[in-house]
């Protein structure tokens, strides 16, 4: 059965994974200095966050294993919605 949601995984910018995505050698995006990865599936039942995605460049499929300490937050959207779902970040001071 096909997954009916997509996910935005927001990475901690100071983590090793976050710094790698901020360098720009990938197809991730950055919002307010926070790297964001769009994923088609995630699982949180192991020692690492499992994220599956189809990158816009490079291999046709990519599985990522990300330390939970590198994840700031995760947003979920419904694939049947054709409109963009706005989201934002509120930095704690």
86 belongs to a structural domain:
no
How many domains in the chain?
1
Domain hosting 12: range is: 5-78
93 belongs to a structural domain:
no
90 belongs to a structural domain:
no
pLDDT tens for each residue of 5-48? 888 899 999 999 999 888 876 666 777 788 988 888 999 999 99
92 belongs to a structural domain:
no
88 belongs to a structural domain:
no
CA atoms in the 13 A half-sphere facing the CB of 30: 15
pLDDT tens for each residue of 47-82? 999 999 887 777 788 899 999 999 998 888 877 765
CA atoms in the 13 A half-sphere facing the CB of 12: 10
């Amino acid at each position: 059965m096909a997954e009916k949601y997509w996910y935005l995984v927001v990475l901690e910018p100071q983590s090793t994974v976050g710094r790698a995505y901020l360098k720009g050698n990938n197809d991730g995006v950055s919002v307010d200095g926070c790297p964001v990865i769009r994923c088609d599936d995630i699982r949180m039942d192991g020692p690492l966050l499992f994220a599956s995605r189809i990158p816009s460049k490079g291999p046709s499929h990519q599985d990522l294993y990300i330390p939970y300490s590198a994840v700031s937050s995760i947003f979920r959207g419904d694939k049947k919605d054709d409109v963009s779902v706005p989201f934002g970040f509120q930095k704690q001071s």
